[in-house]
A and B are shown apart, each in its own frame.
Chain A
Amino acid sequence: MLRHARRVIQRHKSSAAVLGALPEYTEVSTLKNGLRVATERVPAECETVTLGVWIDAGSRYEAASNNGAAHFLEHIAFKGTQRRTQRQLEVAIEDMGAHLNAYTSREQTVYYAKLFRKDVDVGMEILGDILQNSLLDSGAVDRERDVILREMEEVNKQHEELILDLLHEAAYVGGGLGRTILGPEENIKTLKSKDLRSYIDTHYTAPRMVVAAAGALDHGEVVRLAEEHWSGRPTTSSTDFPVDFDRAVFTPTEVRNEDLSEPRAHVALAFDGAEWTSPYSVPLMVLQTLVGQWDRLNPAAGGVDSAPAALARSLASSDSCHSYMTFNTCYKDAGLFGLYLVAPPEGVDQAVATTMSYFATLSTKPERVMSPSDVERAKAQLKANLISQLDALAHVCEELGRQLLTYDRRLPLAELLARIDAVSYDDVASTAARFLRDQGHAQAAHGSLGNLRPFEACHVSNFS
């Protein structure tokens, strides 16, 4: 098996020869309770490190009754622990010049900090403190409800966030993936401290957590610190709540939200895609870059409009769309591949029709819309996109933590680049045929929808 993979790499020596000389240094250890500690040394002069905890728990693991608990917990974690009050915590972080941040997504919860190399021990102690010794004071919980409601208002004003939430609701009706991360309003108003406590006790168990650090660090040192602060984490859940998420079932339905106060139409449509560990995940990434994104206006602040893809050309010539972007989201057992477009009410029907017929052509007669040089260009762009983000230590650390949770191993960059190089024109064509040809899609529409056709008519069947 090792030989197979090596052959994949050696087959594409041209980039490997130049790029293969640059090594990475990742080490992973497992503590006695099952917690994984991962360190990545970066060969650059850096005084700062990024240190974080990646937890395999998110809004997907909640039930309808406690939907929103993960995000609520993220807020309450900063409100005081048994050793430090909220103010002491904030002043401790700010005096070090560090940044402490957290985010919750559907499948992961992440708490990470950026600090000086010399402050790593304090940082590890603070992270352990806020996750394990949080006070979860009921007064703080009550005070935080208004803040979260206000955050929900702000998030719903951003069209992209709102439309993707609606799309998930349409694509996974009734399932864990279909629920929003912030939770419904009534849950925000009624969640109590004991619900948060039971969420921690159910899901924050050591085998589901990864402590990741990136920077000029010594692995042994990080493991020693992790043992000091994280050995107390239990290995199994101590409550009766279900630990696993419910299986994702893709439902090709639509959520339509006519809102005339928003002058444009926002439509997101997605096909059932591939999960993280599927062999199709890399070809889908190439396909996503190929279909690309486009904005009618010149992007401001120094960007250059890229050469338009085939879909962009047809949308631009029909003058029916303001902008679109393609996305490829992966989860553990499901995925979504689709695009989000913004169009004026009088053109949105035409835009959706153009998009669906483009997908139909792409899946049945790809030679009309895709050329081998397009595929090569897309591969180069994808490689460049992935690599250029890796400058930031925070992103390196995030890749480390996320890959350990999703792939159960670290994917070296050389391997990822080799996998991208190995994708050929036929692979992209067969991927498009597998996922887009005569498959049902899920759709979400919001804003002034004009004459957008009914959902049944959006789907273009292409028996040929």
Chain B
Amino acid sequence: MRSALRRATAARRRRHKSGMPADYAMVPPFPRGGWNAHQPPFPEIAPTTQLTTLPSGLRVVSQETHTYMSAIGVVICGGAADEKAHLGTVGGAQLAEVCAWRGTRNSSTADVLKRAEACGRTCTRTRSEQSRLYCIDALRDKLEDATQLLAEACLLGPDLEAPGAMDEVREGMELAFLGATLGRARPGKHPRRRVRFIAVGRAALCPPSQLHTLSPKTLADFRALITQPQSLVVAGASPYVGGCVLAEERAPTPSGYAVEATPQVRIACAMRAPEGGWHSKDLIACCVLQTLLGGGDSFSAGGPGKGMYSRLYREVLNRYHWVEACEAFVSIHDREGLLGIVGACAPASAHHLTEVLMSNLLRLGQQPVERSELDRAKNMLKVNVLTQLESRLVLFEDIARQVATFGRRQTLQEMTAAVDAVTEEDILRIGQYMCAAPPSMAAHGEDLSRVPPYEQVRSWRLRTAARMRPTTLKKRHSVSVWIWYVDIVSVTIGNTTPHQFGAKGMPVPPPRPRRLLSDEWWKDVDEARKYTQTPKPHRNKPMAMAQIGFNGA
């Protein structure tokens, strides 16, 4: 015992030559793998999600992740969609977000943040069109402090009466708006859907012009509107209408930052999908479809696995060198959803880009996808979702939002099985549902002169919809179909029966009446003439009378 004590004091006195005690050295002579010798056997329990409803109506849900940190937070159903202009609550949702994690009446902002740092790392607040989410990521042994902090800082009212607090908040909102427009996100302006009470299409960010109308009363009104139990039910219908938003503006330059001036036009074309929003039976199939379309930037890092064989990569990015970025996105809400493609290019090619985006979307309703494409997309989606769900914060948000939307959480096995069960018919059905309503379009950039007008874009869809109706030919035309398929664009001329192409698997693009063909298209045609041997139609001949040989696949 005494020798042990002597050895211990000797060890403490024997310091490292640099002045630190000996037991701080990072490479003690441990046997390799020796730490596991005394550990209990591996726990074979699969963690499950547990849900409890408190007497007040509040739902509490949790899942064990066996890590040292926990994410705890709250989801409130009620977001920008619930702002009512006539009640003066425009901008209330964003105001609520910015005021979270700030000082309350009892403690200042600095105190709140210091307490948050002592517990853990991150406090987040997210706002979407239909809900708000506040979260704190805390070390496990400080969870009680963290929960109390969450309740105080996010759910109790912030102290906006103090002088200067409103201006600080307004400045923060303005910078957030500028930050979002500078960023690479797609234009957040969904086309307006005309509804009676709820405007899902309202811009998610409060524009700076309206900032001066905000006041503490705005926030109080918004909260009163939203955090009542009866207002948690979304009232009224929000039918999809389709529309177009063009935002021709220079990206604003906040003082002190240099913005690289790349005059780009970003165009997003979307159709409604899936039917029924979050509660649709086609929800998973829609996500598989987005992965199948894929896409990305023209300069991207990463090895195989980033989607280089997805449809948009193969058919758009690898084919047209002037497309800077092209990516499929899906945006789902309570009742409706949007599935579309966003692309970026130089202003001169805007018309061509819109044609390309629309033709890729319309094709989904005309032709089933290939088996190999579908299997690849399913595997990629599963791996991506599973990788994301490893993160505790993402898992937290997934659980919270699922319980808030559906009332229960779908386990990973159910999700994997649902992804595996998607078939080509499901995708085709989604495509046909998409094409049955007018498209939505949004464009953003400095120079939008070459973007085709919305009526033109609508008419492309109508032509295709007409083609999709099963045609019963009253008399068989002796004219056979000529398909001129070049590497740039496909054109179908003449009367054809759809099944001729479906059977051979040839793509059936929307037919283009001559007046829609742009100059760029004709230029590409002239260039492509070098690579094809089939004759091209003379410009003066009406399309329906073309009589040329069938260029079989």
Residues of A375-424 contacting chain B, CB below 8 A: 376-377, 380-381, 383-385, 387-388, 390-394, 407-413, 415, 417, 419, 422
Shortest distance between the CB of B315 and any CB in chain A (Å): 15
Chain B hits for A24, CB < 8 A: 36
Residue of A nearest to B142 (CB): A380
Cα–Cα distance between A43 and B44 once the two chains are bound (Å): 8
Q: Per-residue CB proximity of A86-101 to B under 8 Å, as 1/0?
A: 0001110111111111
Q: Answer yes or no: A457 CB below 8 A from chain B CBs.
A: no
Chain A hits for B391, CB < 8 A: 391-392
Cα–Cα distance between A24 and B39 once the two chains are bound (Å): 9
B67 touches A391 (CB 8 A): yes
Cross-chain contact of B32 among A115, A276, A409 (Cβ < 8 A) = A409
Q: Answer yes or no: A25 CB below 8 A from chain B CBs.
A: yes
Cα–Cα distance between A245 and B524 once the two chains are bound (Å): 55
Cα–Cα distance between A8 and B28 once the two chains are bound (Å): 13
Q: What is the size category of the interface that chain A forms with chain B?
A: 35 or more
B303 touches A102 (CB 8 A): yes
Known A-B contacts A89-B304, A90-B308, A430-B19; A384 and B123 likewise in contact (beta carbons under 8 Å) = no
Shortest distance between the CB of A322 and any CB in chain B (Å): 7
Chain A hits for B69, CB < 8 A: 384, 387-388
A388 touches B383 (CB 8 A): no
Q: Answer yes or no: A282 CB below 8 A from chain B CBs.
A: yes
Cα–Cα distance between A407 and B27 once the two chains are bound (Å): 7
Cross-chain contact of A387 among B67, B183, B382 (Cβ < 8 A) = B67
Chain A hits for B375, CB < 8 A: 95
Q: Answer yes or no: A116 CB below 8 A from chain B CBs.
A: yes
A97 touches B380 (CB 8 A): yes
Known A-B contacts A90-B304, A93-B304, A94-B376; A387 and B68 likewise in contact (beta carbons under 8 Å) = yes
Cα–Cα distance between A142 and B364 once the two chains are bound (Å): 40
Cα–Cα distance between A300 and B126 once the two chains are bound (Å): 11
Q: Answer yes or no: B268 CB below 8 A from chain A CBs.
A: no
Shortest distance between the CB of A323 and any CB in chain B (Å): 11
Q: Answer yes or no: B450 CB below 8 A from chain A CBs.
A: no
Known A-B contacts A278-B26, A409-B30; A19 and B141 likewise in contact (beta carbons under 8 Å) = yes
Cross-chain contact of A300 among B29, B180, B381 (Cβ < 8 A) = B180
Stretch of B110-118, B274-282, B351-359, B430-438 that contacts chain A = B110-118
Chain A hits for B183, CB < 8 A: 300
Q: Answer yes or no: A263 CB below 8 A from chain B CBs.
A: yes
Shortest distance between the CB of B348 and any CB in chain A (Å): 23
Residues of A43-80 contacting chain B, CB below 8 A: 43-48, 78
Q: What is the size category of the interface that chain B forms with chain A?
A: 35 or more
Known A-B contacts A25-B36, A41-B42, A408-B27; A99 and B303 likewise in contact (beta carbons under 8 Å) = yes
A43 touches B113 (CB 8 A): no
Residues of B87-121 contacting chain A, CB below 8 A: 101, 110, 113-114, 116-121
B22 touches A4 (CB 8 A): yes
B383 touches A99 (CB 8 A): yes
Cα–Cα distance between A412 and B32 once the two chains are bound (Å): 12
Chain A hits for B24, CB < 8 A: 279, 282, 419, 422
B118 touches A8 (CB 8 A): no
B305 touches A304 (CB 8 A): no
Cross-chain contact of B123 among A304, A377, A391, A417 (Cβ < 8 A) = A304
Shortest distance between the CB of A460 and any CB in chain B (Å): 23
Q: Answer yes or no: A154 CB below 8 A from chain B CBs.
A: yes
Q: Answer yes or no: B137 CB below 8 A from chain A CBs.
A: yes
Main secondary structure of the interface of A (DSSP, over half): mixed
Known A-B contacts A48-B383, A78-B304; A304 and B19 likewise in contact (beta carbons under 8 Å) = no
Cross-chain contact of A47 among B23, B113, B386 (Cβ < 8 A) = B386
Chain A hits for B123, CB < 8 A: 304
B20 touches A279 (CB 8 A): yes
Chain B hits for A392, CB < 8 A: 387, 390-391
Cross-chain contact of A94 among B36, B42, B172, B380 (Cβ < 8 A) = B380
Cα–Cα distance between A387 and B137 once the two chains are bound (Å): 11
Cα–Cα distance between A101 and B253 once the two chains are bound (Å): 36
Which of A263, A283, A377, A387 has the most CB atoms of chain B within a 10 A radius of its CB?
A387
Q: Answer yes or no: A280 CB below 8 A from chain B CBs.
A: yes
Known A-B contacts A15-B141, A91-B309, A388-B392; A300 and B179 likewise in contact (beta carbons under 8 Å) = yes
Cross-chain contact of B27 among A154, A277, A412 (Cβ < 8 A) = A277
Cross-chain contact of B68 among A19, A93, A297, A427 (Cβ < 8 A) = A19
Shortest distance between the CB of B110 and any CB in chain A (Å): 6
Shortest distance between the CB of B204 and any CB in chain A (Å): 12
Residue of A nearest to B299 (CB): A154
Q: Per-residue CB proximity of B369-404 to A under 8 Å, as 1/0?
A: 000100110111111101100111100000000000
Q: Answer yes or no: A344 CB below 8 A from chain B CBs.
A: yes
Cα–Cα distance between A45 and B412 once the two chains are bound (Å): 9
B26 touches A388 (CB 8 A): no
B172 touches A98 (CB 8 A): no
Which of A263, A282, A384, A413 has the most CB atoms of chain B within a 10 A radius of its CB?
A384
Residues of B133-172 contacting chain A, CB below 8 A: 137-142, 172
Cα–Cα distance between A14 and B141 once the two chains are bound (Å): 9
Known A-B contacts A44-B47, A263-B258, A392-B390; A95 and B379 likewise in contact (beta carbons under 8 Å) = yes
A99 touches B305 (CB 8 A): yes
A48 touches B118 (CB 8 A): no
Cα–Cα distance between A277 and B36 once the two chains are bound (Å): 22
Chain A hits for B195, CB < 8 A: none
Cross-chain contact of A281 among B26, B179, B256, B258 (Cβ < 8 A) = B26
> Can you report 20 A-B residue pairs in the complex whose CB atoms are below 8 A from each other?
A5-B28, A23-B39, A24-B36, A44-B47, A47-B382, A93-B305, A94-B376, A99-B302, A100-B303, A102-B303, A116-B382, A116-B383, A279-B20, A297-B175, A298-B172, A304-B122, A304-B123, A384-B69, A392-B391, A394-B387
Question: A15-B141, A41-B42, A98-B305 known; 10 other A-B pairs, CB under 8 Å?
Answer: A44-B390, A97-B305, A97-B381, A113-B305, A114-B383, A278-B26, A279-B18, A304-B113, A304-B123, A422-B24
Residues in chain A within 8 A of chain B (CB atoms): 1-2, 4-5, 7-8, 14-15, 18-19, 22-28, 41, 43-48, 78, 89-91, 93-102, 113-116, 150, 154, 262-264, 276-283, 296-298, 300, 302-307, 322, 344, 376-377, 380-381, 383-385, 387-388, 390-394, 407-413, 415, 417, 419, 422, 427, 430, 434
